Amino acid sequence: MFDFFIGILFFFSSFSFSEFTEIKSCDNDDSFSIVCGFQNPEDLYLSPSQNKIIISEFGSLAPNTKYGKISFYDLVTESKGIPNFLYEENTWGDPKCELKSRQLSPHGIDLIQRDDGRYMLAVVNHLPSESIELFELVENDSIELIWRGCVDAPENKYFNDVALKTDGSFYITHMYDFDSSQWAIAFASMIKNTTGEVYFWNLEEGFASVSNTKGSFPNGIDLDANEENLYINYWFSGKTVKFNLKSSSVEFEHLGGGKDNLLVTDSGLWVAAHDYSGLESLQCDYSIIQCPLPFTIHHLALENLDVLGVYSFSKGQMGAATVALPYENKIWLGSFHGDRIASFELK
């Protein structure tokens, strides 16, 4: 039976489901202002001053060995920068976790102001092993990142995105197991079966799964300001849910597209969704510089996930957006497979 499913996947992956025109230039178009010079800028977050965008430049998952980095884009000078990294003792993470490399393959990131007043950046990291790297962020004209510790992932777990609490603990999405085959994941994208769940970590107890959060490829995650509700995306099933932590239950749900990252902001919840299937994403192999596939940005109400706005794009100079970051009258976008960040204006 398994060989039969493999044959089906090979058959369907040979088709082009969406009209595919490779993006090669870095020119602006009628929709987007483009800034090139990045490597898979998968996740974005505003700095404390809100004058810079912290950027997670994704590399690869193990067993591949392509590293990425953390960078930033200065919104005032319109220039790209690399933080100055310093390395101190592990005081924020698991005491058993050791710094394995000064290189990273970063994925989801989160930034909060801790109870002690310092700013904490958490980075889901895939290389040289699966971990969460914890930095103190100091902002002046540039960005300084001081390594303050790490947490090793549980065995056999691939993480995706992280949501910090002000006490330094965090929630994190487990997208699927390390030993899952590519074809098992591709098949899951078709039938929307469960592949992962949300975990919670604190220093006293380590990792624990969060009840009632299992789903089909958990992806973006964020907390509300009161730390009472989680917002969780599920990529394969296309769900965004508001999850009440006190009752351990889903209160509201929104469907639409393959949900990637999300951000809680004062203006509401901003959700990036892919308007294509997991099989269609196979078109964006390593020979493609910028994946052109269509996407939609959903603006949802924090209270009940009612739709406040919908912004859909295709055939432009930006594709496969993974995150929507509001800044003044613009929405900034990143991509899991591309060389650029982009912005569009809210009309």
Following DSSP, what letter does each residue of 61-106 receive, concatenated? -TTS---BEEEEEETTTTEEE-PEEEE----SS-TT-----S-B-E
| Domains of the chain from N-terminus onward | 153-345 (2.120.10.30)
CB 196 within 8 A of CB 215: yes
Range list of H helices, the chain = 2-13, 182-191
Q: Report how far residue 264's alpha carbon sits from residue 228's, in angstroms, rounded to the nearest whole number.
A: 13
Nearest alpha-carbon partner for 119 in 85, 80, 148, 87: 148
CB 318 within 8 A of CB 304: no
Position 11 pLDDT exceeds 70: no
CA atoms within 13 A on the CB side of 7: 4
Position 20 pLDDT exceeds 90: no
- CA torsion, points 220, 223, 228, 230, in degrees to nearest 10? -10
Mean pLDDT within 197-216: 98
Q: Give the type of residue at 316.
A: G
Mean pLDDT within 43-64: 96
Name the pairing type of β-strands 84-87 and 143-152.
parallel
User: Can you give the pLDDT at residue 62?
Assistant: 87
Which of these ranges, 20-34, 97-111, 157-171, 208-222, has the smallest mean pLDDT? 20-34
Position 1 pLDDT exceeds 60: no
CA angle 46, 28, 23 (to 5 degrees): 95
The helix (run of H) or strand (run of E) holding residue 110 is strand 106-113
Mean pLDDT within 166-179: 97
Who has greater pLDDT, 25 or 279?
A: 25
Position 6 pLDDT exceeds 90: no
Q: Is the dihedral of CA 149, 155, 158, 164 positive or negative?
A: negative
User: Can you give the pLDDT at residue 282?
Assistant: 72
Sequence-ordered list of residues with C-beta below 8 angstroms from that of 242, at least 6 positions apart, any chain: 229, 230, 231, 250, 251, 252, 253, 302, 304, 305
Q: 259 pLDDT band (50/70/90 cuts)?
A: very high
In eight-state DSSP terms, residue 18 is S
User: Can you give the pLDDT at residue 19?
Assistant: 60
Q: 14 pLDDT band (50/70/90 cuts)?
A: very low
Within 10 Å of residue 294's Cβ, how many Cβ atoms? 20
Q: Report how far residue 116's alpha carbon sits from residue 133's, in angstroms, rounded to the nearest whole number.
A: 19
In eight-state DSSP terms, residue 210 is P
Q: 278 pLDDT band (50/70/90 cuts)?
A: low
Mean pLDDT within 44-72: 96
Mean pLDDT within 245-273: 97
**Structure tokens that stand for 127 in this block:** 């290389």
CB 176 within 8 A of CB 132: no
Mean pLDDT within 199-222: 98
Whole-number percent of the chain with pLDDT over 70: 94
